Amino acid sequence: MPRSARTDAPITIVMGGDSYLNERKVRDLRHHACASRPDAESIELDAAQSDHYAFDEAVGPSLLSDVAIVTVSNLQSADDKLLDSMVDFCAQARKDPGSSSIVIARHEGGNKGRAGVERLVRAGARKEPIPDLKKPEARLNFVMQCFERERRRVEPAAAQRLVSVLGDRTGELAAMCSQLCFDFDEDPIPVARVDQYLTSNPQVTGFFIADKAMQGDAAGSIISMRSAIGQGAAPIALVGALAMKLRTVAKAAAITSGTITAAQAKVNPWVLRNTVRQLPGWSSAGLGRCIRMLAWADEQCKSNGGDPVYALERCVETISRKGHAIPQPRRS
């Protein structure tokens, strides 16, 4: 176990940040603690529901073990008496760190309970701040680090693809990185492998359907759409993916026209650059026609007598033509 996690502080407070990373840090600390003290009893407490008596009992000796690994969740909800007990524990544990229990506390972030955290830090607890991954660059670095944890590499474009599709769903990003490393031997992992994995997942394949439609590949987009529905993807979810793509087109058009700034658009820079390259041929009228078509498809998905698959096909055809009307055959 890392020295700082065991001997430098009687309590480690995992503070805020991305909820997945926060939970993973707590899990890693608990794993190291269990490895260093295999004789310790594992106890979990919720500060929102537990009082100081429960904490004192948890960190004290029991019939099962003299020490325990105590995980305290929702530290931001701890009352004053519970904090008093945790401060007293810090004082006692610092006198005899080798035989004391190990306490890992989880704070979800925000201003609530910060005074209690600072009080514990002054008593000897150690604070582990967790990054929030709100910026696209931070999420991209997170993906790179996921591959590094597996002792693998990924092409930058492939990492960008994962971030652009999954956005801030950190847990899903981590799971996909791990699965890619398990399934494929390439090092670095290329874009083609990422696409192959993502398109087999009905939760995210809607974004690839939208990409094909934006590229003018109506046939390919419809085939992918039917495959996704066959795998179990809900038509309403695919409508949502198409709508998200069109919203990005609208924002890119507004940026190029000077109506809004890139900062106001709040779009991943890499996604924005790709969308700007796809703007030629689009018009306000065409974009409006596509949006109205998607609204109709949304209605078809939600009504009992609708035909969502047919509606989706019409949407894909319209988007692939950038909103231009489909020419009708001439009558002889």
What are the DSSP calls for 251-301, one per residue? HHHHHHTTSS-HHHHT--HHHHHHHHHT-TT--HHHHHHHHHHHHHHHHHH
* Residues across the chain: 332
Return d(Cα 97, Cα 5) in angstroms, integer: 12
Q: Which residues lie closer than 8 Å to 200 by C-beta, 6 or more apart?
A: 231
pLDDT in tens, 130-164: 988 888 888 899 999 999 989 999 999 889 888 87
pLDDT on residue 97:
67
pLDDT score of 154: 93
Query: From CA 131, how far away is CA 203, in angstroms rounded?
Result: 26
Residue 2 confidence (pLDDT): 41
Two structure tokens written together for 204: 């995210």
Q: What is the DSSP letter of 22?
A: H
Start-to-end CA distance of the chain, whole Å, equals 83
Instruction: For each of the domains in the chain, give its residue range(s) and CATH number, in order of start.
Output: 3-129 (3.40.50.300), 136-199 (1.10.8.60), 205-320 (1.20.272.10)
Residue-wise pLDDT tens digits, 6-64: 446 889 999 999 888 998 899 899 998 888 888 888 899 999 898 999 999 998 887 67
Helix, strand, coil % in the chain, rounded to nearest 5: 60, 10, 30
Q: 249-279 pLDDT, tens per residue?
A: 899 888 988 888 888 887 767 677 778 888 8
pLDDT at residue 240 greater than cutoff 90: no
Interior/surface letters 31-53, b for 16+ CB within 10 angstroms, e for the rest = ebbeeebeebbebebebeebebe
Enter the pTM of the model. 0.61
